[in-house]
Amino acid sequence: MKLFRNLLIVIFILLQYRLWFGDNAYSEYQSLSGKVNQLENANQELRLRNKIMLADIEDLKSGIEAIEEKARNELGLIKQNEVFYRIVPNSE
């Protein structure tokens, strides 16, 4: 009986050693868990960016107002017989 108890204690100690210091130990689990959380946050930001881009694409496909807005803001285009005023802020 004493031998069986000692054997169980040794097995328990070996299992504890593997849990804390062996391959795939608890510390490695914690670091990988942190990396997974970081990647999930990055993926969430990318999903939001993709939704915004898809909405822009739908706007560009469906109406001329979005195309006109892009042309005005990004290319500085104006319509025929339209007067363009640029307001320049003071350098102060």
For residue 34, the model assigns a pLDDT of 94
CA distance 91 to 12: 75
Phi-psi region of 85 (alpha: psi -120 to 50; beta: other; left: phi over 0): beta
**Angle (CA) 17 22 25, round 5°:** 100
User: Which amino acid does the sequence have at 53?
Assistant: M
For residue 26, the model assigns a pLDDT of 83
pLDDT one-digit tens code per residue, 3-58: 999 999 988 888 887 777 877 788 888 889 999 999 999 999 999 999 999 988 88
Task: Say which DSSP state 90 is in.
Answer: P
CA distance 32 to 38: 10
CA distance 48 to 54: 10
For residue 44, the model assigns a pLDDT of 97
Task: Say which DSSP state 27 is in.
Answer: H
